[in-house]
Amino acid sequence: MGRNYFHLHLISDATGETLITVSRAVAAQYQGVSSLEHVYPMVRSQVQLQNAIAEIKANPGLVLFTLVEQDLAHKLEQACREIGAPCHSVLQPVMTMFQSYIGAAATPRAGAQHMLNADYFRRIDALNFTMMHDDGQQSDNYEAADVILLGVSRTSKTPTSIYLANRGIKTANLPLVPDAPLPRAIETLRNPLIVGLLASPECIVQIRTNRLRSLNASENSPYVDRFLVANEVNRSRELFAKHGWPTIDVTRRSIEETAAAIIDLYKMHKMKFISAS
């Protein structure tokens, strides 16, 4: 059975990230249906809006928008009514709830969530730190990390680290290599939360095999030997248990799910660290 497709128009006065995230989260609930995304970022003028409306006329479909400028929002809604395209403001219901609870109207600011504030620079700082401490680099500076991820090769350490960095969490990651000792500093760290990442040997072997194929390398290697990989995983599990480090099995988790679990652990870690100080 083939997939069904529909046009999805995402109109934003900022980067459009909010719309993309929300629409994909909803679209994922419908099997056999895929959206053809038309993204219009930084729509802040009548001319830009008219260009988007012309595209909607040419390819009718669902329209989602985040436009805080009411004049632009009203013109888009009117145009969609004339075209017969369902149109919905993603932010308005939430803003209405905020206004009702807070008791004050919002001050419209296009792209306000992307302003260069302290949180923005914290995330950039975290990303720089994470890139410099990827795959065991600069282990002598691990005390400055918020989180350190340990795991055998192909347990999603790097992508998870980058995701955490985008949330403002300075993350280092260190691969567990057979017969290679951990840096001594790991056992004496006070500030960072250390998390062990695990995965089933079958999953790791599959990912490693695909990696070797992409490099046109020989698959006759200890790197993908089922028995040796299982031994690696067991030894890493023993290491984590020895030190009392929390673990997360990433076998069936997405990067986002793994990161969410780590963020919860990090919040608890910070509370304990503050209480002990």
Four-residue CA torsion sign, 223, 228, 229, 235: negative
Where does residue 76 rank: exposed (0-12), middle (13-18), buried (19+ CB within 10 A)? buried
pLDDT at 148 over 80: yes
Range 173-191 average pLDDT: 92
Quick one: pLDDT at residue 2? 58
158 annotated to a ligand binding site = yes
155 annotated to a ligand binding site = yes
Whole-angstrom Cα distance, residue 201 to residue 206? 9
127 vs 114, which has greater pLDDT?
127
Q: Are 80 and 26 in contact, with CB atoms under 8 Å apart?
A: no
Quick one: pLDDT at residue 117? 63
Tell me the β-bridge partners of 249: 198
Quick one: pLDDT at residue 1? 46
22 annotated to a ligand binding site = no
pLDDT at 204 over 70: yes
Which domains does the chain carry? Answer: 4-113 (3.40.50.2300), 118-276 (3.40.50.300)
Instruction: Give the tens place of pLDDT for each residue, 154-171.
Output: 999 999 999 999 999 999
The answer to pTM > 0.75 is no
Q: Which residues touch 115 (CB under 8 Å, ≥6 apart)?
A: 109
Alpha helices in the chain (DSSP H): 17-27, 46-58, 70-83, 92-102, 118-132, 157-165, 201-214, 226-243, 255-276
CA proximity to 174, closest of 188, 200, 195, 205: 195
15 annotated to a ligand binding site = no
Range 57-70 average pLDDT: 95
pLDDT at 266 over 70: yes
Lookup result for tokens 């065991």:
136
pLDDT at 180 over 70: yes
pLDDT at 275 over 90: no
DSSP assignment string, 173-232 = EEE--TT-PPPGGGGG--SSEEEEEE--HHHHHHHHHHHHHHTT--S-SGGG-HHHHHHH
Quick one: pLDDT at residue 112? 60
Range 73-79 average pLDDT: 97
66 annotated to a ligand binding site = no
Quick one: pLDDT at residue 51? 96
- Phi then psi for 223, rounded to 5 degrees? -60, -30
Quick one: pLDDT at residue 64? 97
Whole-angstrom Cα distance, residue 14 to residue 250? 33
Range 249-277 average pLDDT: 90
Range 190-210 average pLDDT: 96
Range 73-96 average pLDDT: 94
pLDDT at 274 over 80: no
Least confident of 23-27, 109-113, 122-126, 246-250: 109-113
Confidence of residue 15 (pLDDT cuts 50, 70, 90): confident
In percent, the amount of the chain with pLDDT more than 90 equals: 73
Range 41-53 average pLDDT: 96
